[in-house]
Amino acid sequence: MRTRALTLVLLLVCASVAGVGVGAETAQASHTSTITQTTTLSLTPETAGEITATVRYDLPESVTALSVTVPSSQRVAATSGFAHTSGNSYEWDGETESPSLMLRVPANRTFTGNRALDTARARDGGVTVTGPHSARTEGVSSASASDAMAATTGRDGGARSRTADTADGAASDGGEYSFVDTGSWAITPIPQFGTHWSWRGTEHVGLERRTAVDGPGVAGNAMAYLGPHETYERRAHGQRLRLVVPAAASLRESPESVLDALADASGAMTGGARDAEVRVVAAPTSVNWGPSGLEYGGSDAWVRADSRLDAPENVWLHEYVHTRQAYTPTNETKWTLEGGAEYYAGLLTLQQGRITYEEFRSYLTRGRRDPYAGAVLAEPTTWRGLADYLKGALVVGTLDRRIRTATAGEHSFDAVLAQLNSDDDRVTQAEFLAAVAAAGDDATRDAAARYTETDAVPETWSYAAHERAFGESPPRMAFALDGDALAAHGPWRNATLDVATGATTLATGEALVLNATVTNHGEHAGEYEATLRRNGTVVAETGGRLDGGASTRVTLDATLTEADDYVLDLGYREIDVEVVRPATPVVRSLSVNRSAVNASQPVEVTVEVANPSSHPANATYAITVDGRQTGTWTPYLAPNESVTGTFTVTFESGGTHTVRVGERNATVEVSGGGLVPGVPGFGPVTGALGVLLGIALAVAARRQHRE
């Protein structure tokens, strides 16, 4: 979900706040002059339920005053350049270049009721201007501050209550969590602070917020995971989808399957606002979670690691859909958040071929049962249990089918979602009904009013009616990239590539080889295509046509000779391919098996070269004896590989002789005779000696990979 910043202007002076955090540290803002607030989060293994947050301010010279208000639930453990003034406020001493506060922050959030749902989502605080050359960002004064929080949801497959306690603090015994710190790992909101500053001069000073993690972890816009983990990435439809799997989590589905589902949903939903990046944490199930999943802050979410993809109540997709809902509802329309997410989760799961239509219909039918059926969706006080989820899903589905029927498939509820997302104010009931009418017709609007303003309950529809309105499922092409589906071939290596992160690196001269299976998971025949592009220009491509349910093998082979950024486009999935010039290996050592020999005795010379870089390396080394080049050697090394080469020389003349490769050398003391020129096997040698050394190298060369 996109986030909006509210800016109030007074005397032509304004303040802006951008709060982001991805990976170890990220930033988003641009000002002529900027205060940088960096919040670094770390675990406190000795104190489960609490994390440390160190907030540091880097100040431009024009800033004359700075004060920070800390939420009352957080404890200041140490300060540098700040002095306590009153209450929870701290003031900069005016001298320290990078003042900081170290805070102890309660991380656990617990719930009351049966399967309670979190109803608090962090959002950037409002921004106001307090006068000329002064600005203030209104942060969160407590975890339940409504002016800095927006409604969100968790969801669970069982019965759930709407009661929620969103205050920070230690978990009560037997509590059910929406956020938790176990000591060894944590899923936690990112702390927010109130900051006030003043400056001199005409140059505007803004505030840029960053979040970092001290140690392993991932920070998002509003939520962070702290602890050991693996991250899997996928690029699809302009989005970067990141799946974070903690070491403590046992993922029921494969990371590839989860990313497949999210990427497919990213493309199938046309009306929602796509964030540039969405982060989902697979939450370990060793703690007693309240919901099965929680979207928080617009583009961050966690989902229980044991959640299934083949269920109409698909939690992975439910939380993803929330990231596409970029509007703020009123009480009359807030049912659309959960009803819409629940409906789309089921519909997308059906369209992905993971459930049958009867499973989908049976799930929607739950909205017709008590106590949900009697709810008036536009009046939250009438809701019982999961009325907004279950009756809401049935109503959204009914409106979706009616819109498709009224427009012969030209529009769907996606058009309603797009209209709601375009509203900068809270979406009223009148605006919702107008969006339905614009997408469908007046009859559809009347149905929307009846099903939301009264306790009327729509019927579900038959498979035949579903086919007429939705059509058979469209072609959906999916490339399976398991095993050796993607490889690099060339002088350095013939190896498979791990593309779990959504990116890979090759060297110029290597070939990118795709050998994958593509399957049409839809019912209609359609076209598939695999395209490799450089700066938008097609470098290589292949494609064809597949009937519904059919599969075929697809190959693509492209030798990449230019260093640049490429994209392998597989329809719903994109893989970044960075092509770089080969690195230069390092000659680690050169040694001889004898340091003193008689003339004509063979001396074995061993050279070890290493490639410490993350991409292939090669170099041509001159082999010299007493300063005279007698040959060359061009080793090719894969990333993090070392190679040992061995060759033999004999000396016919006495004296001290030096053999050199790169910066390494060794000396040999020889008694009598003359030097036999040439070092066979390295470079352009000919005849029997060259053949003999070629065999020797094949036997003696050793390749080692460093972990």
Average model confidence (pLDDT) across the chain:
82
Q: What would the pLDDT profile of 215-246 be if each residue is shown by its tens digit?
A: 999 999 999 999 999 999 998 888 999 999 99
Confidence check: pLDDT of 680 > 50: no
Pick from 211, 230, 249: which residue ends a domain? 230
Q: Clarify whether residues 510 and 542 are in a common domain.
A: yes
Q: Residue 111 has what pLDDT? A: 56
Residue 76 pLDDT more than 90?
yes
pLDDT category at 563 given cuts 50, 70, 90 is: very high
Helix 429-439 × helix 413-421 angle, to 10°: 140
Using alpha carbons, select from 265, 217, 256, 423 the residue that is nearest to residue 336.
423
Same domain, 99 and 222: yes
* 144 and 32 inside one domain: yes
Helices (H) and strands (E) in the chain, counts: 10, 47
Q: Are residues 88 and 186 in the same domain?
A: yes
On whether residue 259 sits in a domain, the answer given is no
Segment among 151-155, 607-611, 688-692 with least mean pLDDT = 688-692
User: What pLDDT shows up at residue 397?
Assistant: 98
Identify whether the C-beta of residue 608 lies closer than 8 Å to the C-beta of residue 681: no
Q: Looking at residue 557, which CATH number applies to its domain?
A: 2.60.40
DSSP string, 392-422: HHHHHHHHHHHHHHHTTTS--HHHHHHHHHT
Residue 172 lies in a domain: yes
Closest CA to 414 of 238, 317, 270: 270
Q: Binning pLDDT at 50, 70 and 90, where does residue 548 land?
A: confident
Residues 165, 34 share a domain: yes
The whole domain housing 522 covers 477-580
The whole-number pLDDT of residue 160 equals 30
386 within domain boundaries: no
* Phi, psi at 439, each rounded to 5°: -80, -35
Residue 536, domain member (yes or no): yes
Nearest to 476 by CA among 415, 518, 530, 532: 518
601 and 652 both lie in a single domain: yes
* 271, pLDDT greater than 60: yes
Domain total in the chain: 3
Enter the DSSP assignment of 289. Answer: B
Q: What is the pLDDT of residue 15?
A: 35
Q: Are residues 522 and 652 in the same domain?
A: no
Confidence bin at 25 (pLDDT 50/70/90): very low
Q: Is 389 exposed, middle or buried (0-12, 13-18, 19+ CB in 10 A)?
A: buried
Say whether pLDDT at 133 is over 50.
no
Supply the pLDDT for residue 226. Answer: 98
Give the per-residue pLDDT at 650.
85
Q: Say whether both 561 and 631 belong to one domain.
A: no
pTM recorded for the entire structure: 0.68
Is residue 25 assigned to a domain? yes
Residue 389 has pLDDT above 80, yes or no: yes
pLDDT at 134: 33
pLDDT at residue 144 greater than cutoff 50? no
Q: Are residues 549 and 628 in the same domain?
A: no
Q: Which helix (H) or strand (E) holds 470?
A: helix 463-470
- Same domain as 488, residue 506: yes
Q: pLDDT tens-digit profile of 302-322?
A: 999 999 999 999 999 999 999
pLDDT, residue 696, reads: 39
Return the CATH number at 686. 2.60.40.10
Q: Is residue 667 part of a domain?
A: yes
Q: What is the pLDDT of residues 477-525, one digit of tens each?
A: 888 877 788 999 999 889 898 877 667 899 999 999 999 999 887 777 8
pLDDT at 571: 74
Identity of the residue numbered 71? P
- Domain-embedded: residue 665: yes
- Predicted confidence at residue 483, as pLDDT, reads 75
**CA angle, corner 313, sides to 311 and 318, nearest 5?**
120
- Average pLDDT score over residue span 83-96: 95
| 569 lies in the same domain as 688 | no
Same-domain check for residues 610 and 545: no
pLDDT average, residue stretch 53-82? 95
Domain end residue (candidates: 523, 555, 580): 580
User: Does residue 8 sit within a domain?
Assistant: yes
